[in-house]
Amino acid sequence: MSTVRLFYALWPSPALAGSLAAWAEQARPHCGGRAMRTETLHLTLAFLGPVDAALADALAAATPEKRLAPGEIALDRYGVFGRQRILWAGPGETPAGLQAAHDGLWQWLGGFGLGAPPHPFRPHVTLLRNIERPEPPADAPPPLLWAYDRMVLVASESLTGGSRYRIVAQSRPQPG
C-alpha cells in the first residue's frame, strides 16, 4: 500500500513569501539555524501525515469544491518551538475566522475518516529550523497582513537534505 504525506495550508503570494524570508534573515543572527526556502513558506491549516494513495486522490478531487471563507491574519511576532528548535512568525492571537476555517476543515476531513489532532491550533509560518538559541528576537519587523481566500493541498516528499512540497489541489475562492 503506497502512502502520500499531505497537509492543507495557506500559501503566500511571492511578495509575502519574500517578506517572510526577510523576517527569517533578520532573526538568523540572533537565533542561528537554517532558513526555510522562500518557495516552501506556508501556514499549515491541517497536517494529515501519511495517507493512503486512494484517499490522497479523493482529497485532491474534492479540494476544489471545499470553500474557504476569506479572511486575513496579521503576522506580528516571532515565536519559538523549543523542543523542535524552530523559530516561527505568527499572530499574537488566532483570528476567529482562521480558527473557524481550521475547525471547519477538520470537520470536513472527518467525512474522509480523518480526525483532528488533540493539540490546539497555533497558526504560524516556520522561518528557521535547528535554531541555537531557545528564545526569539525581542523585536519583530513591522507586521505583515496576509489576506487569504483559498487553501492548498500539499504533498510533502522527503529528499536528501530536506523536503519538496508539491501543490496537488487548490480550493476555489467563494463566489462574491
Q: How far is 80 from 123, CA to CA, in rounded Å?
A: 12
Cell representation of residue 22:
526577510
Over residues 152-174, mean pLDDT: 87
Residue 159 scores a pLDDT above 90: no
Residue 158's pLDDT is what? 78
Bridge partners for 146 per DSSP: 73
Residue 60's pLDDT is what? 97
Give 43-64 as a DSSP string: EEEEEEEEEEHHHHHHHHHHGG
Please, are residues 125 and 38 in contact by the beta-carbon 8 Å criterion?
A: no
Residue 1's pLDDT is what? 67
Burial of residue 83, with CB atoms counted within 10 A of its CB: 0-12 exposed, 13-18 middle, 19 or more buried: exposed
The string of pLDDT tens digits covering residues 60-78 is: 999 999 999 999 999 999 9
Residue 173's pLDDT is what? 86
The string of pLDDT tens digits covering residues 7-53 is: 999 999 999 999 999 999 999 999 999 999 999 999 999 999 999 99
Kindly report the pTM of this predicted structure. Answer: 0.93
Residue 109's pLDDT is what? 98
Residue 157's pLDDT is what? 87
Over residues 93-117, mean pLDDT: 96
**Averaged pLDDT of the chain:** 94
Please, are residues 3 and 51 in contact by the beta-carbon 8 Å criterion?
A: yes
If pLDDT is split at 50, 70 and 90, which confidence band does 176 have?
A: low
